[in-house]
Structure 1
Amino acid sequence: MNAEGNKQIVCRFIEEAINRGDVDAAGAYVAEDVVELEPFPGQGPGLSGLKEVLRGLLIAFPDMRWTVEEQIAEADKVLTRFIWTGTHRAAFFGVPAMGKPVTVWGMVIDRLENGKIKETRILMDALGLMKQLGA
């Protein structure tokens, strides 16, 4: 797969698994043994761990929507700069639902292998998110 094709795979993963809330669709874009280099607290390994994180985010922010602001791809890596928005409707890392809208920026670096995301590292403004939630 070339760099442009890899960017398309990442965008399809974001659109289907996150924006449409079809967490099970992640398997079409993410390797079963994907490695999260910066896992969320308590995140399990592989695709199943990623799916659990996505489900948790979609429970806490059911209207979560990611917008790709920029992508850079080279060889087997794709850097995606994004902004996500959502409304805090359920507990998230110990913070009870506040009903507040949030806007969070971040970047994710994905390495693809055989047409699937094999390694990922997400860098997100977690402190800004928690401040918006009043934590």
Structure 2
Amino acid sequence: MNEHENATQMRRLFEQAWTDNNLDVVDEIVDEEFVFTRGGGVQEGGSELYKDLIRHTREMFPDMEYSLDEVIVGDGGDAVTVRWTVTATHEGEYMGIEPTHQTIEMEGLELNRFEDGRLVEACTHPHWEGFLEDVGVLPLDD
């Protein structure tokens, strides 16, 4: 695949899988060797892991909608960096925080790697402070 095709695949994942909850698209794009990293923790599990990440997130934020603010392709098209914003209502426990029913907006940066047109690795860096401010946990010092 060329660099534009991998960027298109990332857009499909965010629009169709994350926002529209169409998990079938995950099997088309995510490799069985897929690895996910967030906050220093590494998880392996292929496309089923990717689907579980969506399901788990949707339990907490059932109406989540992602927008892709920037998509940058590098490394001959195999590396796709995405700057995203998610808007959602906090309806389930998240990071030990009971549902607040507040609308949140959280930004993040995700580094993705493709091999032979399949997503094999994602390393995401959400801006947790924005979420914590939206649900009233921050600022801790008033």
Matched with 1:30 is: 30
- TM (norm. structure 2) is 0.85
Name stretches of at least 5 consecutive residues in structure 2 with no aligned partner: 138-142
Structure 1: gaps (5+ residues):
none
Change (3 A) 1:42 1:116: closer
2:110 aligned counterpart, secondary structure: strand
Query: Is 2:57 aligned against 1:57?
Result: yes
The structure number with the bigger radius of gyration is: 2
Partner residue in 2 for 1:93: 95
Cα displacement (A) at 1:134 = 2.8
> Is the contact between residue 98 and residue 133 of structure 1 (CA under 8 Å) also seen in structure 2?
yes
Question: Comparing 103-112 with 39-48, which one deviates more in the overlay?
Answer: 39-48
Letter in 1 for 2:82: T
Question: What's the CA shift string for 1:19-50, capped at 9, x where partnerless?
Answer: 10123431211111101133686956333222
Contact persistence 1:43–1:53 (CA under 8 A):
no
Match for residue 105 of structure 1 among 104, 107, 110: 107
In the alignment of these two chains, the number of paired residues is: 135
- Which residue of 2 is the match for residue 130 of structure 1? 132
Deviations 1:106-127 (A, max 9, x none): 1111111121111111111023
SS of residue matched to 1:33: strand
RMSD of aligned alpha carbons: 2.0
Aligned to 1:118: 120
- For 2:54 and 2:42, the matched residues in 1 are separated by 13
- Normalising by structure 1, report the TM-score: 0.89
Corresponding residue number in structure 1 for 2:73: 73
- Give the residue type in structure 2 aligned to 1:8: T
- Whole-Å separation in 1 of the counterparts to 2:5 and 2:88: 29
CA contact (8 A) 2:62 2:88 kept: yes
Identity fraction in percent: 25
